[in-house]
Amino acid sequence: MQTYCIFVGFRNFPVMFSKQFAIGKIAVFISTIATLSLGSTQAQASCAAPFTGGDFEGQTRQRVSSPWVPEGRVGIDRGLGYSNAGKNNAWMRNVSGWNGIRQRVRLQPNTQYQLTAYVRTSANVTDGYFGVRDARQKVFSEIKFGSLPRYTPLTLGFRTGSETEYNIFTGFWALGQDSWVQVDDYRLTGGSCADVELVPASN
């Protein structure tokens, strides 16, 4: 007996079906109905990237907590007047080693995204990195930054590969002297509906 199944994704509607053409057509038909029933407003909203906590306003402790993961010596400035906007920002400060934060995100495959964050550093930072790693924490795309006396927006455009799990990160190597980085207002945009249409419906 031939079987087929339909995966109704959050942002698109890839359809898996058997080799039998007729059943494939039925699946596409059902998928089309599902798409139409969503309505244009919901369909647009479903294209937004799944990224939260980029302004750090939801962080309730000095310790970095979910959805962010600490690496090295980092924390949250809460109501100290060091933010780019709102009350809170994240900080990383040390005399040596790697110090940073990361957040795991699920992204659409083969899709263009743009990541932005506001970064400020002490005058002696020379080895900072901002970007995206893959699921195994290997750098996927990044830009290097040095001293940023004022909050400066860093922007990285990247296109995902076939995988869907990535890690947004910012961090720096402290090179033998006290140095620090402050970050705030991450934004991740992309995953447009136009890109969704490029995903083959039958894979």
The answer to whether 77 contacts Ca ion (rule: CB under 5 A) is no
Closer to Ca ion at the Cβ: 55 or 71? 55
Judged by beta carbon, residue 71 or residue 184, the one nearer Ca ion is 184
CA–CA separation, 155 and 89 (whole Å): 18
Q: How far is the CB of 150 from Ca ion (least distance, A)?
A: 16
Please identify which residue in 31, 59, 83, 179 interacts with Ca ion, judged by CB under 5 A. Answer: 83
Residue 86 near Ca ion by CB under 5 A: yes
Residue, CB closest to Ca ion: 86
CA dihedral 79, 105, 152, 173 (to 10 degrees): 90
Question: Judged by CB under 5 A, which stretch of 80-88, 99-107, 140-148, 166-174 contacts Ca ion?
Answer: 80-88
Binding segment toward Ca ion, per CB under 5 A, in 27-35, 81-89, 118-126, 153-161: 81-89
Which one of 184, 188, 195, 196 is in contact with Ca ion (CB under 5 A)?
A: 184
Q: Give residues 102-121 in contact with Ca ion (rule: CB under 5 A).
A: none
Residue ranges in contact with Ca ion by CB under 5 A: 55-56, 83, 86, 88, 184
